[in-house]
Amino acid sequence: MRETIDFGIDLGTAHSAIAVAENGRARVLKNGDGRDRTPSAVWMPREGTTHVGRKARERVESDPDDAHTGFKSRMGVTGAEFGFRRAGVSLTPEQLSAEVLKSLCRDAAHALGEPPAAAVIAVPAGCSPGRAAATGRAAVLAGLSEDCPLLPEPVAAALAYGAYGTDGADGASGPVHRMVFGLGGGDFTAAVVAERGGEFRLLRHVGDPRLGGTHLDWAVVDELLAPAVENELGLRDFVRGNPRWRTNFARLRAAAETAKTELSRARRTEIIADLKDDDGHERPFLYTLTRGALDDLALPSYARAVEWCRNMLADASLRPDHIDRLLLVGGGTLAPGLRELLADPRQGLGIPLDHSQDPTTVVARGAALHAGTVRVPVRRPRPAATAEITDLLRELRGALGTCESHLDRAGREKAGGFRTLVGELQLTVDRFEDAHGAGGGPHTAALMGQLLERIRQFEGALLRDPMR
């Protein structure tokens, strides 16, 4: 039985990861694909089937009605929902994030033989109360404790870098300042963190949701690959908004993402993609992408990120020479062109770079290191289920089952949006059950009774058969 939480999670916009603290170190746990990171994407090809991770990410562009990513950025936004057409349901950002968390917890259970009881979850700097509450709800929906601590991502990164001997703080009389430079798949963030005696404090932070790696992937597609495809294959109206070419653009974006990663180690790479022509036949497309061409496309974004950092330092009354190290976070910081720019004191920041850690998993490892110091929260006793609420739950599910039977007889075409309504009602019942399991409240039974009455009215309307 663990005495400390030990598990740390980076719930990212584009990718997520889980790590565990072991003997003062942190180890990233691999997913079913053998990778350190899981794409934060959910795909529901039909009712009752949910895919999380790589399979889902591959479908986001080609099957946008049933696959979604980027929902983390909508956490805590009132009314935000993502629809799944074939499954006939709409899910909130926290419900989708819960699916990602469940996937990470399954990976942990596979690796260690036990699922996490709780986890320290890294959240963006300056996380709003609404977003924090949504993250907590996602954790509970995923089966984690309702007392999962939240840790700012820049602090998690600084903790991980410092824990492995790169803090540079030995002998310092005052606080040591570090800048965390984060360029991930979803966005750009930067923060100044002060450290003294092993304690970290977040001083300033900035961010831009339009500077993520995904935006660069699409720039490669739109500016370089799409014109080459149009010229080589002779495709008509080959633009991203044309639904006819949706699959081709999905394959090009995936190829651009892979090529971008390869160019962090090589100066050129070959892009190979099987694309459909005007007759629907697949034809191979080849393109040589160089690091220089990629840097030219990325330079305006890099320059804007540097400007954000300079303004942040000015607001904190700091200069680049006041910063001990620049800590790199996110896959985008693997680009040699970006690193060269950041190190340049005239065009960049001139702050000594620290890339001693894997920037793609450093946040998860920092969260795990912190988790290794936090005791497992004591589970709160839950009241026994009352007969009244248990009976209401049974009646609610039975009434919804009857409604579904009526809709099945009406056929999918005629049932239309009513199926979506039933799916949403089922999710509402699930939430009532979660609330009851957590203790509910004095009005839970009354609200469930009102909902049951509404569903009975809906059932009666279906029996009167207005769809015939």
pLDDT surpasses 90 at 382 = no
In this prediction, residues 77-99 reach a mean pLDDT of 92
Do 335 and 439 belong together in one domain?
no
**Dihedral over Cα of 435, 439, 443, 447: its sign:** positive
Q: Is the pLDDT of residue 393 over 70?
A: yes
Residue 339 and residue 394 in one domain:
no
pLDDT of residue 196: 87
Pick the range with the lowest mean pLDDT from 56-70, 121-135, 169-183.
169-183
Q: Quick one: 144 and 182 in the same domain? A: no
Residue 165 lies in a domain: no
Both 14 and 71 in one domain: the answer is yes
Contacts 24+ apart (CB under 8 A), 243-249: 245/276, 246/61, 246/62, 246/64, 247/62, 247/276, 248/275, 248/276, 249/61, 249/221
In one letter, which amino acid is 115? P
Answer yes or no: is 159 within a domain.
no
Give the pLDDT score at 213. 86
**CB atoms near residue 305 (< 10 Å):** 26
Specify the higher pLDDT residue, 82 or 175: 82
pTM, 2 dp = 0.78
CA distances from 414 to 136, 405, 466, 467 (A): 39, 13, 10, 6
Q: Which of 150, 210, 221 is nearest to 183 (CA)?
A: 210
User: Residue 175 is part of which domain span?
Assistant: 171-355
> Quick check: is 161 in a domain?
no
Q: What is the pLDDT of residues 252-281, one digit of tens each?
A: 999 999 999 999 999 999 999 999 999 889
Whether the per-residue pLDDT at 468 is higher than 80: the answer is no
Mean pLDDT on 396-423: 67
Instruction: Please provide the average confidence, as pLDDT, over all residues in the chain.
Output: 87
Same domain, yes or no: 115 and 257: no
Q: Which two tokens stand for residue 14?
A: 């584009």
- Asked whether residue 34 carries a pLDDT value surpassing 90, the answer given is yes
Asked whether the predicted pLDDT for residue 434 surpasses 90, the reply is: no
Query: Taking residues 312-328, what's their average pLDDT?
Result: 95
What is the model's pLDDT at position 93?
Answer: 94
Confidence of residue 38 (pLDDT cuts 50, 70, 90): very high
| 3 state SS for the chain | CCCECCEEEEECCCEEEEEEEECCEEEECCCCCCCCCEECEEEEEECCEEEECHHHHCCCCCCCCCEEECHHHHCCCCCCCEEECCCCEEECHHHHHHHHHHHHHHHHHHHHCCCCCCCEEEECCCCCHHHHHHHHHHHHHCCCCCCCCEEEHHHHHHHHHHHCCCCCCCCCCCCEEEEEEEECCCCEEEEEEEEECCEEEEEEEEEECCCCHHHHHHHHHHHHHHHHHHHHHCCCCCCCCCHHHHHHHHHHHHHHHHHHHHCCCCCEEEEEEEEECCCCCEEEEEEEEEHHHHHHHHHHHHHHHHHHHHHHHHHCCCCHHHEEEEEEECHHHHCHHHHHHHHCCCCCCCCCEECCCCCCCHHHHHHHHHHCCCECCCCCCCCCCCHHHHHHHHHHHHHHHHHHHHHHHHCHHHHCHHHHHHHHHHHHHHHHHHHHHCCCCCCHHHHHHHHHHHHHHHHHHHHCCCCC
Percent share of the chain, pLDDT over 70: 86
Q: Which amino acid is at 389?
A: I
Residue 29 · residue 364 · CB < 8 Å? no
Whether 364 is in a domain gets the answer no
Q: How confident is the model at residue 167 (pLDDT cuts 50, 70, 90)?
A: very low
In this predicted structure, what is the pLDDT of residue 433? 65
- Per-residue pLDDT band for 181 (boundaries 50, 70, 90) equals very high
In terms of domains, do 229 and 346 share one?
yes
Asked, for residue 149, whether it belongs to a domain, the answer is: yes
What's the pLDDT score for residue 248? 94
Domain end among 308, 334, 355: 355
259 and 306 inside one domain? yes
- Least confident residue range of 43-57, 288-302, 380-394: 380-394
Q: With 50 as the cut, is the pLDDT of residue 166 above it?
A: no
If asked whether residues 206 and 315 sit together in one domain, one would say yes
How many folded domains does the chain comprise? 3
Question: Looking at the structure, do residues 24 and 118 belong to the same domain, yes or no?
Answer: yes
User: What is the reported pLDDT for 186?
Assistant: 80
User: Does residue 371 lie within any of the structural domains?
Assistant: no
Verify that 199 and 279 share a domain, yes or no.
Answer: yes
CA distances from 237 to 176, 221, 285 (A): 56, 15, 17
Q: What are the phi and psi torsion angles at 22 (to 5°)?
A: -140, 115
* CATH number for the domain harbouring residue 117: 3.30.420.40
Identify whether residues 62 and 128 lie together within a single domain.
Answer: yes
Taking only the tens place, the pLDDT of each residue in 337-373 is 999 999 999 999 999 999 899 999 999 999 999 999 9
Q: Are residues 82 and 210 in the same domain?
A: no
Read off the pLDDT of residues 190-236 as tens digits, 9 standing for 90 and up: 999 999 888 899 999 999 988 888 899 999 999 999 999 999 999 98
Residues 6+ apart with CB under 8 A from 458: 403, 421
